[in-house]
Structure 1
Amino acid sequence: MASGRLWAARPVLWAVAVALLAGRAAYGEVTLLWPNGAEVLQAGSEVEIRWVLDVPRPQHDWDLWYSLTGPAGPWIEVVMDLPSGSPEPGSVHTFRWTVPDTASSHVRVRVRQDLTAYGDLYDISDADLRLRPAPVVGDVDDDYDVDLDDYRLAAACMAGPGVKAPPQGCTPTEFEAADGDGDRDVDLADLSRLFAGFTGPPADVAVYLLTFDSTWSRETHPIDFPANPHFSGLIGGTHHDAAVFWREGERASLGIKNMAELGSKTALTREVEAQIVLGRALEVVSGPGISRSPGRASVALNVTQEFPLATVVSMIAPSPDWFVGVAGFPLFQDNRWLEEIAIPLQPYDAGTDSGVTYSSPNQVTDPPEPIYEIFTVPFADDGTVPPLGTFRFTRQPE
């Protein structure tokens, strides 16, 4: 729903739209101090996120998010509606965050003040940082498993009981990692512990259950809420990074257009099938919709180390061309399968229909606009767009 489309909005939406459109994203008026890129954060540790207000602003709540896949998201909540604190320029704001137990080398943190008539303040980490999962005893090469490579390195570090320095051919880091019992030497006891924790390399194939829990309701999104809220059937595919089915900031394909406007799976299914033929995708993912929101739907999907990305979408219905979903979300990161992750779902506009309400008549957008996240009515409530639900990916037993 592009800002220009609001001129056609019904009067009940116009007053809200004016207030929201008066404020624009104010990148650079708040600065994220830490973490700001290149940091390594250990799972389970508690760290302090810090940011500074660069200009005087009225007091509004802060939201903090993190992404496992770089600055494009999707964004996962750290905390919402954090008290605003001091509005004075130069004031430093903080939040203590317990680092989640997951692995990624492409993490970003985002700080954002609720959208107001004075502007939307936000900042994102300047560069990627790394999340390390809990240490694995015997993981000498730091790849989150214990296999023959670790045994070879540990054997090269074995100097016997009481020898506190690494032998030639073993680095200090490898020596410390090979010391599984923490007695500052590497001996047969350490190799025995390594074998006891032997996992082998990560499986090449994984099966996930994707559960779509929709929370979209009159209570969460009260503005102009429709009488028959529902979501179309889940549709998408698993693939590698040479296949892109949709991306924020790019124009929608026919498959995404038809899904977002009509809830149709046909064209997007064909697009995934074409990528399978080209060797860029593994399978089509097709599951049920939600006949009335709030509700739940689920579908199983297969991924491999070669095809670790999941793209799945669903139409917000009724609507002109609005949808929820994930685009190329990696389930295999840093040599490790994610065990479970829940991704909040924000509304997107496919950029193909200029309607501004759930029940707007068809208004073809010519030329089409790029796909973008919707921050305004009818989803925004008091400056915030609550998620419409979550996609939860849960790895299934082998």
Structure 2
Amino acid sequence: MRVMLVGSGGREHALAWALRRSPTVSELVWAPGNAGAKGLCQTAGVKADDLAGLVKAAQGMKADLVVVGPEAPLADGISHALEEAGIPCFGPSREAARLEWSKVFTKEFCVRHAIPTAPYRVFSDPGEAESYLERGGEGFPTVLKADGLAAGKGVLICRDLGEALEGTARILRRREFGAAGDRMIVERFVSGEEASLMVFTDGERIAPMPPARDHKRIYDGDRGANTGGMGAYCPAGNISSLQIQEAVETIVRPSLKGMAEEGHPYRGVLYAGLMLTADGPSLLEFNCRFGDPETQVVLPLLQGDLAEICLACASGRLDPSTVRWKSGAAVTVVLASGGYPGTYRTGLPISGVEEAAALEGVIVFHAGTRREEGLLRTAGGRVLDVTAVGESLAQAKERAYAAAGRIRFEGMHYRRDIAAGAPSEESLIQ
């Protein structure tokens, strides 16, 4: 099987690593890829937002399958463009991916299909939104959401009226999120335990992945600014097997049925952000692709053939029994540039990666790197995703931090408490 992978981050390096291990993959091309491709696969100099270029590259290599990592190409319609060229795409159509690229659509979709989610109002006029909030809105704290894709930064949790008015100004008045902020949701804050659930699906059949949990805040103790994710661990013991099944039956399955009824069958990965409440799971948001850095801890535990699973999803013939998982656990520690998630320098030399990767159970995924004149250098905010697997979460964590300690670049920082709040081994999902 000839496979093309789209994207350039740590999630995509993990996908490339897993696809390369597939016995059915004869050729793998990563577009545009990053420095982690060295010794793993070929790269193509086509950016992820160049749909015509991606289709041409896939045709040129006679791809049997294209796997899409990031959300933007899906929102731009890459799936349809590839299918028009006769190439199966692992990733939903633009219309189905609207579950991620329009939060307003998703809330309205949930109402139409009786999917549990928090009460909300939608505004495009800042004055009307401010007046609503001043009258009490949905109570405080409250949640403000920009409608469109905002690189994970378009959700604001506001503790009081002052913060809510400032958030409204950011989204609707100052337009900090551009067109993504043309509309804004004011949503009731829901209390409970936050959890994530990713599933493979061909539009009808569902194969859940083991639950993973990420750490969004920049500093230890979940302090500081939100980021794209500073680490993750799997399995996450904060959601039980019964809760997973309940979420599948009350949220995931009705969503797939609803998309099919509306003429947009959903195929690919569906990622449900959940709040586990006393009344059952409530949907916070959908992502229409693998999570980052959750992918980096889930895929090392996959026992099945990722390429075959992706092709089966794209072709509408997924057999959930073929999606098998290893026992054990995985932990990812993200090494970030100094200043991230704010301004940061790039082009700094990196050392110790090969030494770290040689440790038992360790895989170093590249997120923001490039090679110049034979040297590995930083090229982004999140630079490397140091991942380790072990028989237990404790062993995986110990290995990941031992490996992180071998790597050096100027200004490097990382959290020291990834998986520190994880439940005991006895309570982890088996």
Higher strand share: 1
For the pair shown, the structure with the greater C-alpha radius of gyration is 1
Compare the two structures and name the one with the higher helix fraction: 2
- After TM superposition, the score normalised by the length of structure 2 is 0.25
